[in-house]
Amino acid sequence: MGIAGFAPPFLFALSQWAGYPNWGRRFSYFPFLVLLGAGITLNNTRAVAEALSGRNAQEFLRTPKFNAEGRRAGKLRQAGDYNLPVDWTTWGELALALYCLIETLAAFTHAPGLVPFLAMYALGFLYTAGLGLWQSHIQFPRFGGKRKALILE
């Protein structure tokens, strides 16, 4: 890893140190942030392609808008029909996770230097696909009732 590879974790640690007294605990989340960044590449590619093609894209489909502030931000409650159904990007992320996993296994014998890079993408795609599947699953009724979604209150 070159010296430029240390810039993102250093800047993240510096920002957490400057803003929070418990910056060490917050910095421990950095690996998950890296996985999330790797995992959303398909979703970002889709958004860029839609923007460049002039399609009327629906903005921020995965971003809930609950106007949650202060104490309300941490509480969950059952609410109406907000969660989105599983779309093709979730299945694409799952397919890319499988592809990267297969390539990671192949890299062990043919290109061991690529193993961490490919594993990061495999885990990132698996993480975002898993979140997409989990978040869409909680919208389905278990016993024939109305669709429910978890929202912040």
Q: What digits encode the pLDDT tens for the residues 92-150?
A: 999 999 999 999 999 999 999 999 989 999 999 999 999 888 877 655 455 444 444 44
- 127 falls within a domain: yes
Give the total number of structural domains in the chain.
1
Evaluate whether residue 53 is within a structural domain: no
Residue 59 domain flag:
no
Q: What was the pLDDT predicted at 110?
A: 94
Check whether 61 has a pLDDT greater than 70. Answer: no
Joined tokens for residue 6: 């240390």
The DSSP call for residue 149 is E
Q: Is residue 56 part of a domain?
A: no
Residue 29 domain flag: no
Residue 1 lies in a domain: no
pLDDT tens readout for residues 17-56: 888 888 888 888 888 888 998 999 998 898 888 888 887 6
CB atoms inside a 10 Å sphere around CB 35: 19
Distance CA 93, CA 105 (A): 18
DSSP state of 6: G
Range of the domain at 109: 77-153
4 within domain boundaries: no
In a domain, 63, yes or no: no
pLDDT of residue 83: 60
